[in-house]
Structure 1
Amino acid sequence: MLTSIRCVAIAAIATLATSQVALAAIHFEGFEDPGWAPGGASWNNFSGGSIQRVASGGGIAGVASASGSAHAEIYDLQVGADVFGDPSLGARSPYTQFGGYSSSFGSGFTASLAVYLDPAAWTDGQGFDYSVAVNNQSGVHLRDFIFHVGKDGGDLKVNASNNTDLAFNAFKLNTENAGDFSTVTGPGWYSLEHAFYNVGGFLTVDFNLLDAGGTLLHSITRTTSDSIATTVGGNRYGYMAYNNIEGLAIDNTSLSANGGVIPEATAAVVWVGLSLVGGLRFRQRGSVKTA
């Protein structure tokens, strides 16, 4: 009997895995085209800074690209006024349209951006806010989902929320999600991933931090009261709401349909299956907060 249960569990897990990883690519930008320049439906300059393509190992940061022979850097940071009227370096820096804005949610989508993080090279007060926004079904901006990345107290921390000050904010780094931040301890490429999916008819978003090999390091989940059926549309921008790291290196901007991670409800089913076939332990993925 146990053998039969194991076979059923394995089959179920295989089906779930296949359905979750079969993503439909909507947009990808790896900066490999030698003629790449900002503009159009990809990355654009904004008032707080500019973006340029650089060869692997070149540019201000001098780092090897996350993949391929090129990546991009954000540079020429400008001091602007944030929403509270205080000057902020790099406020309203470059943004991407992920190939174009959408008013259709479909079965969900996942946005990902590779960023080079180096705790030793940053000082306290340095960092950036990176937002991915969702539209409503009329194609109008609905809500932002923002990674907060910055160095405070000697540590490079990653947290998330739905708001930005367009400037460094240590309070958000340390206290959002009941203090459930991640600490980056070594230099390298990391992916900031936003996974948008449907739970019980409402928009839910995972903020996932992954290392260069794709291993999930930390995850924070935020739920909303936004109805998938009547309110939520598709992607809007990916946006450096502020960035005070001159030469911040980015690579491999992507948007894919059908999500990119196993949502919590599905993960619970997988956990049951794994417990049947081998007693494997499912790692808790992070805090749940209401936007």
Structure 2
Amino acid sequence: MLVSVRHLKKNFDLGRRQSVCAINGVSFDIHEGETLGLVGESGCGKSTTGRTILGLYEPSEGQVTFRGQDIHRLKGQARRQVQRNMQMIFQDPYASLNPRASVFDLIAEPLDIHGLYRDPKEKAQRIGMLLEEVGLSASFVGRYPHEFSGGQRQRIGIARALALEPAFIVADEPISALDVSIQVQIVHLLQRLQQERGLTFLFIAHDLSMVQYVSDRVGVMYMGAMAELASSEELYHNPLHPYTQVLLSAIPVPDPQIQRQRSDQVFRGERPSSLVPTIGCAFRSRCPRAMAACQSQAPVWREHTPGHFAACHALDAEGHHQ
């Protein structure tokens, strides 16, 4: 097991005695060499989960371990060593690159922070190799972010994430700001890098069809909590949670005949406010299978069939779990 997340919570203080619970008791594992997809509507806590795993946010409760070490308890050099092994590719290549820094300086920054490559010639060689590895020319080192397209900027961001030879990368919606044709190129690049380097990915996105294509397993989040987790194939062919079923029904099917025959499900009701603490199941106001228990008790996250997890009172009532 490379990364293990247990009962992770993250609250943000909004002032005036108000706080918002962005992650509420999330638990899952990420196996070495796999891509775990994390999907859900905007504001469901996907990005906060990724950033808290990496230590960019301190958790309010819970534990994140990397190769058995509790990340948030590590200090000093031990924490720096783990953080070297865990990097992030950000959503917006326009915002995540300092416009005043050259490509050379952008990629050199993590190398300098960790005191690698004392020899300037070696460092320059390393940066040139990283650029070529992501499909850019080593001659681009003197250029600035505004001189590149969105796809090229994302490639620079990927080169920077690779600079420290990480084992684990959180890709936070790495293609959502790009044109569709460029999205496919970036996904293929990430898949090639994974094979060549043995990387492990947490791939965060809201596009379910792309996540199915990219991921070995997929987790679905709703209002800061995990709704369902299964292998990509199992989740798409046998979704258990009502929320997952509605999300999947919204994906267009290329065959017009099949598309016409489908009974599209739609969300009813309003999504509750994240500022108001939820009693019971957060999805109950929009759920076609809501029952009495959903009003007062939070559903339990459990394994219903081998490797297929979900948190739903209706499933428990039907005796889905082992």
TM-score by length of 1: 0.24
Normalized per residue, the structure richer in strand is 1
Determine which structure has greater relative contact order: mean sequence separation of CA pairs < 8 Å that are 6+ residues apart, divided by chain length.
Answer: 1
TM-score by length of 2: 0.22
**Greater C-alpha radius of gyration:** 2
Normalized per residue, the structure richer in helix is 2
